[in-house]
Amino acid sequence: MCGIVAVSGNPEAAQLAFLGLYSLQHRGQEAAGIASFESATGESHRVRKAGLVVDAIKETDIAELPGDVAVAHIRYSTAGGAGLKNAQPIRERFRGGVVSLVHNGNLTNANLLRDRLFDEGALFQSTIDSEVIVHLIARSRAPSTEEQIVDALSQVEGAYCVLITVGDTLYAARDPYGYRPLVIGALPSGGLALTSETCALDIMHARYIRDVEPGELVRIRHGEIESVTRLPKFVAEPQPCVFELVYFARPDTRLWGYTVDRARRAFGRRLAEEQPVDGDIVISVPDSANSAAVGYSERSGIPFELGLIRNHYVGRTFITPTQAGRDFKVRMKFSPVREVLQGKRVVVIDDSLVRGTTSRALVNMLREAGAKEVHLRLASPPVRWPCFYGIDMPTREELIASDKSVEEIREYLHVDSLGYLSPEGMTDAVRENGETYCTACFTGDYRAPLVDAGAGFEMSSHC
Ligand code: AMP
């Protein structure tokens, strides 16, 4: 998870990057950071703080980030990886100058590379995989900065979108599989913006130009795209992550050629065809399932109602992870609308089922609020495999669908019926131009080598 932003060739680089981070908040809530570079003085600056963007980065911080180039990062919390030392941008000085780096994705051979670098005497400041890239750049004997970056990236495996500044030059790269998104836009006040999602371009009033292509390295100076290089390890079939469309990205973002809202509606329509049920109302688990629920309602003809309200002010809770605690957490987040639910056969649409804990608690809540029947429909297939490419998906043991049948899950959730979208239904719905996707969390089909995971399937400290 995580979100990244860069601005080049604009005197308000840090301010704009802040805006970009603000609309990427859904990609991570643990920490936010911005690094800027002043071409005129050659000085670099950095702020990294814990918390939501709006709490973490204040006007006074922006004032301390002058410059016409900036990179910024929003961090998603992971098991072992909390703490500011793991926040980005990473910033170091090497023979090419000051390098600042932000990364979205997860490297699948970072542990191996880190061990090798340790053996060679490298000193690490963090435990994140992204720092490995900076070391590899600095240690490369290649003759130019650009070639050092290519050399470094040719050694890493897995998922990465990186934005790197070396002095006032900005480099952007996307792994050959293209797991995570990275787009380029033109700013109305001059210069270019690069970011994970188009919703961040929109808030900056930037005009979308194009995606950074899978396996592409782009160099930008003073807001001009100067040259483009292909990274080694060409992949014939890119594997953009389908889960970005299912759950992760914001509905107004345009991703993999689809507005996320449109893709989710298509999942919902297909779900209605594959998993019909007699019901009085369709409701969504807000907000991530709203579009899919609209699609389900459209195709089934069952009216869409607002049966659950989401509290947007919940923030982080510190409740112990007991079952009672989890139920309580769900109650803090969602409230049922009794009048809508009372006596109704309710078709509940959720985007995905991971551990099953949210749904189980929600179903109780809906029944207590008077729902006569509860039919759960999921706008994605059973999640059976962990993600190694940057989505926080737990271990196989924690994934409810890894060892339970649909009927066993139905019983566990206490629903009257349960239906998932099929893997083909999901990919067909977003294959208007023959696109291929990473569906590893549903199918176990991992393409980029899982070097660190081996057979043990242990997640590394990822972003
Ligand atoms: P659960 O089944 O209780 O683990 O949670 C599933 C819900 O969490 C779904 O409704 C999704 O909206 C949301 N979700 C899906 N994937 C993730 C993820 N990787 N991290 C956090 N929430 C997720």
Which tens digits make up the pLDDT trace of 360-404? 999 999 999 999 999 999 999 999 999 999 998 889 999 999 999
Rounded to whole angstroms, the Cα distance separating 201 from 183 reads 8
Return the residue matching tokens 């194009």.
Answer: 210
Lowest mean pLDDT among 79-93, 138-152, 193-207: 79-93
Ligand 1 binding pocket, CB closer than 6 Å = 247, 285, 288, 350-359, 391-393
- Please say if the pLDDT value at position 461 is more than 50: no
Residue 353 Cα to ligand 1 midpoint, Å, equals: 6
C-alpha of residue 102 to centroid of ligand 1, in Å: 25
CA distances from 193 to 6, 14, 65, 70, 185 (A): 6, 11, 17, 9, 5
Q: What architecture does CATH give domain 260-446?
A: 3-Layer(aba) Sandwich (3.40)
pLDDT at 319 over 60: no
Give yes or no for residue 60 having a pLDDT over 60: yes
Q: Which pLDDT band holds residue 300 (cuts at 50, 70, 90)? A: very high
The answer to whether residue 439 scores a pLDDT higher than 90 is yes
| 400 Cα to the center of ligand 1, angstroms | 12
Give burial (CB, 10 Å; 0-12/13-18/19+) of 385: buried
Q: Boundaries of CATH 3.60.20.10 in the chain?
A: 3-239
CB 170 within 8 A of CB 69: yes
**CA 319 to chain CA centroid, nearest Å:** 25
Cα-to-centroid distance, 421 and ligand 1 (Å)? 16
Whether the predicted pLDDT of 136 surpasses 70:
yes
Q: How confident is the model at residue 79 (pLDDT cuts 50, 70, 90)?
A: very low
pLDDT band at 457 (very low <50, low <70, confident <90, very high): low
The pLDDT of residue 104 = 97
Q: How far apart are CA 374 and CA 368, in angstroms?
A: 11
Backbone angles phi, psi at 58, to 5 degrees: -100, 170
Extract the tokens encoding 242: 């389908």
Convert 342-366 to b/e letters by CB count within 10 Å (16 or more is b).
eebbbbbbbbbbbebbbbbbbbbbb
Q: Enumerate the CATH 3.40.50.2020 domain ranges in the chain, comma separated.
A: 260-446
Reply yes or no on whether the pLDDT at 82 is more than 70: no
The pLDDT-based confidence of 173 (bands split at 50, 70, 90) is very high
Mean pLDDT value across the chain: 93
Mutational pocket test of ligand 1: of 245, 352, 365, 442, the residue with most ligand atoms within 8 Å of the beta carbon: 352
CA distances from 366 to 279, 285, 307, 353 (A): 14, 11, 9, 17
Alpha-carbon 399 to chain mean position: 19
Whether domain 3-239 has CATH 3.60.20.10: the reply is yes
Residue nearest to atom 13 of ligand 1 (CA): 352
CB within 8 Å of 322: residues ≥ 6 apart: none
Exposure b/e, 315-326, CB count within 10 A at least 16 = b: eeeeeeeeeeeb
- Residue 459's pLDDT is 45
Distance, in Å, from the CA atom of 234 to the CA atom of 232, rounded to the nearest integer, reads 6
Q: Is the pLDDT of residue 238 over 90?
A: yes
Higher-confidence position of 333 and 460: 333
Given this model, what pLDDT does residue 8 score? 97
Cβ contact 201:5 at 8 Å: no
Q: What is the percent of the chain where pLDDT is above 70? A: 94
- CA terminus-to-terminus distance, the chain: 6
Q: Which residue among 247, 365, 384, 388 has the greatest number of ligand 1 atoms within 8 angstroms of its CB, and so is best to mutate?
A: 247
pLDDT band at 1 (very low <50, low <70, confident <90, very high): confident
Calpha distance 180→240 (Å, rounded): 6
Q: How far apart are CA 375 and CA 133, in angstroms?
A: 47
Strands (DSSP E) found in 373-416:
373-378
Other CB atoms within a 10 A radius of the CB of residue 233 amount to: 14
pLDDT band at 292 (very low <50, low <70, confident <90, very high): very high
- Identity at 8, one-letter amino acid code: S
Q: What is the CA radius of gyration of the chain?
A: 22
CA geometry: angle 246, 29, 92, nearest 5 deg: 110
Lowest mean pLDDT among 27-41, 258-272, 305-319: 305-319
